[in-house]
Chain A
Amino acid sequence: MKLITAILKPFKLEDVKNALQAAGVTGMTVSEASGFGRQMGHTEIYRGAEYTVDLVPKVRLELLVDDEQAESFVDVIVKAASTGSIGDGKVWTTSVDQVIRVRTGERGSEAI
């Protein structure tokens, strides 16, 4: 089992969600996040004072999938999230030891 984590532009969340649903995903978790990548932040001026904005608003999307599905779901996310400009985000996968469905106690692939 894999955990796919994606950091995305908030603006692309709707597209990614729709693409994943069309691809048959069975669940996901979305949270608001902020951070920076290689582009770093930028400076802005507010009320005469210059300040740096180094943490840019992002959304963090997480989904648990079976090993064999992971690569295709990652492709779906990358395709739907891409705008070609800086700050499009990142997607990574991590191996997961165990998954349990709370209601039934099912374990492993059954619980996904």
Chain B
Amino acid sequence: MEEIVLNSGDTAWVLGSTALVFLMTPGLAFFYGGMVRTKSVLNMMMMSFVTIGIVSVVWVIYGFELAFGYKADSPWYGNISFSGLGGVVNDFTNNGGFYPIPVLVFAAFQLMFAIITPALISGAIADRTKFTAWAVFVAIWSTIVYFPVAHWVFAFGNKVGDTVTGAGFLASKGLEDFAGGTAVHINAGAAGLALAIVLGKRVGWRKEAMRPHSLPLVLLGSGLLWFGWFGFNAGSALAANGVAGLAFMNTQVATAGAVCGWLLVEKIRNGHPTTLGAASGAVAGLVAITPGCAFVAPWAAVVIGLFAGVFCALAVGLKYRFGLDDSLDVVGVHLVGGIWGSLAVGFFGTQVVNSVGVDGLFYGGGLDLLGKQALGVGVVALYSFVVTLILGFIIEKTIGFRVKAEDEVDGIDLSEHAESAYELSSSSRGGSF
């Protein structure tokens, strides 16, 4: 076997990307936190922060092995092991071939994806979720949904010579999902749909206006998400090379296109391009370019982004038709944007920009790639939805998933955390030490 030599440039880029992707979850906390009412800001942000805590711990104990361990040689899950990552300190990364970066760097990078995926779900059940139930949900959902699905999509197996062991079943079927359109966004979107069904509507939904309490916070959050997403997409090259550069550029222009697309829809339909629309459009574009960022040309990224903005802007209104209180549009942005972005690779994918890619429909590759993409979309969406629905009902029937209606109306920040985000008057809590 040839000697592997650590590449300091690649390692530095992936370490930097890891920190960038980490920042997305606090960014998400601001994005979601700004969108809820003053009385539930802290709870909304805490749902993201506790997810950082829980998933990081679980990841070290068994999560990374369950997603990316290859000893079991299974297409469905990695390796069931409670090694605490102690055994891999000196190893290099092997994911369908060797990468000259330490496997612990790869494990830290992938951890950040494992954190943000469940955190994304929290937007569907804002203002009403019992905090302990959410914590229990995050631990179990990560274990039975995210880690296996990450294995299906992201694990390309341990490749030694020409022998590959333990590759995930969607990865080996040829699904092109560079940074997580299926494993992260469709997964979180379908889970959000399931939980919105389990928890039901907020008290007063559609009767009172539930407008975002701080749009500057929403914009701050979407800016941090956009910034961090360069690590999410370009870092997924696991190298500081041309593919990373392509993913970086595509991330920028697709997102820009989606901002324009969303605002156009609002301007034409309602007459007012909104701040919330610009922020949501950015996230829709980021979601949609995630699967294809390293497989499409920058002009195609603009088209993907533009349509993502249009589709998602139209999709977020549907929840009222279905009577579904997906409070912060996790389904309309992440599920719809993820499905569009994943399928779009089947149209716009081309070997011209990336030699390991596959030509899609528009490049004479026929329907083959589109079929693989559709399979990935369907399998992940269905698995995530069904398992989350069952898990959600079990939690609802045992420890209860919602706070009391009285606590919800008075404000979940006070009832769950004994705090309020804005102490504007000395008598607001009436307390004295």
A positions within 8 Å CB-CB of B? 9-11, 14, 34, 36, 41, 44, 46, 49, 51-57
Contacts and interface: CB of A to CB of B under 8 A. Distances in A.
B204 A44 contact: no
Given A10-B409, A46-B418, A51 B432 contact: yes
B162 interface: no
B433 A51 contact: yes
A9 B410 CA distance: 9
Interface residues of B, number: 17
Given A51-B431, A57-B410, 13 more contacts: A9-B406, A10-B409, A11-B410, A34-B427, A41-B430, A44-B431, A46-B419, A52-B432, A53-B429, A54-B432, A55-B427, A55-B430, A55-B431
- Among B203, B208, B433, the most chain A Cβ lie within 10 Å of the Cβ of B433
Contact of B409 (A11, A41, A49): A11
B206 to A, nearest CB: 13
Contacts of A41: 430
A80 to B, nearest CB: 14
A53 B432 CA distance: 7
A44 B418 contact: yes
A78 to B, nearest CB: 18
B430 A11 contact: no
B405 A11 contact: yes
Nearest to A53: B431
9 contacts: A10-B409, A11-B406, A14-B204, A14-B208, A34-B427, A36-B430, A44-B431, A55-B427, A55-B430
Nearest to A57: B410
B433 A49 contact: yes
B90 interface: no
A60 to B, nearest CB: 13
Contacts of B433: 49, 51
Ordered nearest first, which 8 A-B pairs have the shortest CB separation? A55-B430, A11-B409, A11-B406, A51-B433, A53-B431, A51-B431, A34-B427, A53-B430
A53 B414 CA distance: 12
Contacts of A9: 406, 410
Contacts of B409: 10-11, 14
Contacts of A36: 430
A36 B431 CA distance: 12
B163 interface: no
Contacts of A57: 410, 428, 430
B431 A52 contact: yes
A58 to B, nearest CB: 10
- Among A44, A54, A55, the most chain B Cβ lie within 10 Å of the Cβ of A55
- Among B203, B406, B419, the most chain A Cβ lie within 10 Å of the Cβ of B406
Interface in B176-220: 203-204, 207-208
A55 B427 CA distance: 7
Contacts of A44: 418, 431
